[in-house]
Structure 1
Amino acid sequence: MSKLKAVFFDLDDTLYTSFQAGDRRAYECLEAWAQQTFGEAGRGFDAAFLAARKQLAAEQPDMPPIHDRVLFAQRALENMGFNPIPHARKAAAIYWGAVFSQMTVRPGAPEFLDELRGRGIKVAVVTNMLADIQLEKLVRLGLAERVDFLVTSEEAGIDKPQRAIFDLAMRKCGVQPDEALMVGDNFAHDVGGAHGADISGIWLNWTHKERPACDFAFDEAHDFHEVAEHIRALF
Structure 2
Amino acid sequence: MGLKAVFFDLDDTLYSSFQEGDQYAYEKLAMYAEAHLGVPGEQFARAFRDNRRRLARQQPGMPPTHDRVLFAQGALESLGLNAVKYARAVHRVYWNAVFDKMQVRPGVHQLLDELKMRGIKTAVCTDMLADIQMEKLAYLDLLDRVSYLVSSEEAGMDKPGAPIFWLALQKCGCLPQEAVMVGDNFRHDIQGALDQGIAGVWLNWTHLPKPEEARPYTEVFTFEQAAQYIHALL
* Fold shared, TM-score > 0.5 on shorter chain: yes
Listed one character per residue, the Cα deviations across residues 136-186 of structure 1 (whole Å, up to 9, x for unaligned) are 000000111000000000000010001111000000000000000000000
Structure 1 residues 77 and 229: alpha-carbon distance in aligned structure 2, compared to 1, 3 A threshold: same
Amino acid at match of 1:177: P
1:63 and 1:135 map into 2 onto residues whose CA distance is 19
Q: Which residue of 1 aligns with 2:157?
A: 158
Aligned residues: 234
Structure 1 residues 62 and 124: alpha-carbon distance in aligned structure 2, compared to 1, 3 A threshold: closer
Amino acid at match of 1:222: F
1:211 and 1:42 map into 2 onto residues whose CA distance is 39
Matches within 5 A, 1:111-126: 111-126=110-125
Amino acid at match of 2:93: I
Higher deviation after alignment, 15-24 or 61-70: 61-70
Structure 1 residues 186 and 62: alpha-carbon distance in aligned structure 2, compared to 1, 3 A threshold: closer
How far did residue 29 of structure 1 move?
0.3
| TM-score normalised by the chain length of structure 1 | 0.96
Higher deviation after alignment, 5-14 or 40-49: 40-49
How far did residue 37 of structure 1 move?
1.3
Q: In structure 2, the residue corresponding to 1:203 is in which secondary structure?
A: strand
Higher deviation after alignment, 42-51 or 12-21: 42-51
Q: Which residue of 2 aligns with 1:204?
A: 203
How far did residue 40 of structure 1 move?
4.2
Amino acid at match of 2:52: R
How far did residue 81 of structure 1 move?
1.2
Structure 1 consecutive aligned stretches of length 4 or more whose deviation exceeds 2 Å: 38-43, 56-65
Residues 16 and 103 in structure 1, CA contact (< 8 A), matched pair in contact too: yes
Residues 61 and 158 in structure 2, CA contact (< 8 A), matched pair in contact too: no
1:189 and 1:219 map into 2 onto residues whose CA distance is 15
Residues 65 and 159 in structure 1, CA contact (< 8 A), matched pair in contact too: no
Q: Which residue of 2 aligns with 1:130?
A: 129
Unaligned runs of at least 5 residues, structure 1: none
How far did residue 53 of structure 1 move?
1.1
Q: Which residue of 1 aligns with 2:183?
A: 184
2:171 and 2:61 map into 1 onto residues whose CA distance is 27
Percent identity over the alignment? 56
Amino acid at match of 1:158: M
Q: Which residue of 1 aligns with 2:229?
A: 230
How far did residue 57 of structure 1 move?
2.7
Matches within 5 A, 1:1-235: 2-41=1-40, 43-61=42-60, 63-64=62-63, 66-235=65-234
Unaligned runs of at least 5 residues, structure 2: none
Residues 30 and 40 in structure 2, CA contact (< 8 A), matched pair in contact too: no
Structure 1 residues 109 and 89: alpha-carbon distance in aligned structure 2, compared to 1, 3 A threshold: same
How far did residue 234 of structure 1 move?
1.3
Structure 1 residues 163 and 40: alpha-carbon distance in aligned structure 2, compared to 1, 3 A threshold: closer
Q: In structure 2, the residue corresponding to 1:85 is in which secondary structure?
A: helix
| TM-score normalised by the chain length of structure 2 | 0.96
1:55 and 1:138 map into 2 onto residues whose CA distance is 28
Structure 1 residues 61 and 104: alpha-carbon distance in aligned structure 2, compared to 1, 3 A threshold: closer
Higher deviation after alignment, 125-134 or 34-43: 34-43
2:167 and 2:39 map into 1 onto residues whose CA distance is 48
> RMSD between aligned alpha carbons?
1.3
How far did residue 41 of structure 1 move?
4.9
